[in-house]
């Protein structure tokens, strides 16, 4: 029996088991995998994962779900806490989860460099978030998260998800998106800072945005743009992810 959800946690429990095999296929589950699951909820996906991989590390913020998660298999390590605050295991090879809507983006972004052992992500998120991960420059969906994800990974799968697979049904469409790690650029943390500053004021030019963040003067930013062949009136949304890496280098 499904218990009432807590809106502050963005809970929408997976209720249709038919979607599990789609998750398994996109996640390319293998017996040796060590999987991190954020937000196990009622444990439907957790049990599925535990039958197919070596170990599952599950992190759940809602203590009220303790009874629902009391019968997990022995190869599941369950921790109650905020996944953005607790110390996450460093041995995980995959992140497979129906991510809570309200923390999906920061969880993915922080895992890109914070959990370097992850080889593949397969996450269920709002469809607009899934599309934002791999949006192209110049589109309204393209932003800082697009750049950071694309600098760290390449998309390997995408599957739209009906609202009917959740209880309660959300008011937005969802999607499964899978992506595999590539090689992080050198000085990725510095790149993250530049990307965050660049997109903090989307309608401003890059020299203005970077100056507001204190990362460079307008003149220094304009010179860096010139070094990568871009005019000073360029906005962040016009630059492809590799160009933002080159801009970061030019700013030094």
Q: Give 52: exposed, middle or buried? Use CB within 10 Å, 0-12, 13-18, 19+.
A: middle
What distance in Å separates the CA atoms of residue 57 and residue 70, rounded to the nearest whole number?
14
Residue-range domain boundaries for the chain: 7-181, 188-250
The C-alpha atoms of residue 116 and residue 24 are separated, in whole angstroms, by 22
More confident of the two residues 7 and 135: 135
Q: Which residue has the tokens 């218990």?
A: 3
User: Comparing 7-181 with 188-250, is the CATH topology the same?
Assistant: no
CATH label, 188-250, candidates 1.10.3720.10, 3.20.20.450, 1.10.8.100, 1.10.3470.10: 1.10.8.100
Cβ(110)–Cβ(138) below 8 Å? no
Q: Please, what is the average pLDDT of the chain? A: 93
Q: Given a cut of 90, is residue 146 above it in pLDDT?
A: yes
| Structure tokens given for 115 | 């959990």
- Whether 200 and 99 have beta carbons less than 8 Å apart is answered as no
Q: Please, what sign has the CA dihedral across residues 158, 164, 165, 168? A: positive
What is the third-level CATH fold of 7-181? Answer: Rossmann fold (3.40.50)
pTM of the model: 0.91
Question: Above 50 in pLDDT, residue 11?
Answer: yes
Q: Which of residues 9 and 156 earns the better pLDDT score?
A: 156
Looking at residues 183-203, what average pLDDT do you find? 95
Rounded to an integer, the average pLDDT of 101-130 is 96
Burial (0-12, 13-18, 19+ Cβ within 10 Å), 184: middle
Least confident of 3-17, 46-60, 89-103, 233-247: 3-17
Each as own residue / partner, the long-range contacts of residues 157-160 (CB below 8 Å, 24 or more positions apart, any chain) are 157/25, 157/26, 157/122, 158/130, 159/22, 159/26, 160/127
pLDDT digits (tens, 9 = 90+) for 47-84: 999 999 999 999 999 999 999 999 999 999 999 999 99
- At 196-234, the pLDDT tens digits run 999 999 899 999 999 999 999 999 999 999 999 999 999
């Amino acid at each position: 029996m499904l218990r009432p959800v807590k809106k502050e946690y963005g809970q929408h429990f997976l209720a249709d088991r038919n979607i599990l095999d789609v998750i398994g296929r996109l996640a390319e589950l293998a017996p040796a995998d060590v999987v991190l699951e954020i937000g196990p909820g009622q444990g439907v996906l957790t049990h599925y994962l535990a039958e197919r991989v070596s170990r599952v590390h599950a992190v759940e913020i809602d203590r009220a779900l303790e009874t629902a998660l009391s019968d997990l298999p022995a190869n599941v390590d369950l921790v109650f806490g905020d996944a953005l605050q607790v110390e996450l295991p460093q041995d995980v090879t995959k992140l497979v989860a129906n991510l809570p809507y309200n923390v999906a983006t920061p969880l993915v972004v922080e895992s890109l460099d914070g959990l370097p052992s992850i080889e593949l992500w397969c996450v269920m998120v709002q469809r607009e978030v899934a599309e934002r991960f791999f949006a192209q420059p110049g589109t309204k969906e393209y932003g800082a998260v697009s750049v950071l994800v694309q600098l760290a990974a390449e998309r390997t799968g995408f599957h739209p998800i009906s609202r009917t697979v959740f209880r309660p049904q959300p008011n937005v469409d969802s999607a499964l998106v899978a992506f595999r790690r590539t090689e992080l650029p050198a000085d990725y943390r510095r790149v993250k800072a530049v990307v965050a500053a660049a997109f903090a004021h989307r309608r401003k030019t890059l020299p203005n945005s970077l100056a507001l963040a204190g990362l460079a003067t307008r003149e220094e930013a304009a010179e860096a743009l010139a070094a990568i062949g871009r005019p000073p009136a360029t906005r962040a949304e016009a630059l492809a992810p590799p160009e933002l890496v080159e801009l970061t280098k030019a700013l030094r």
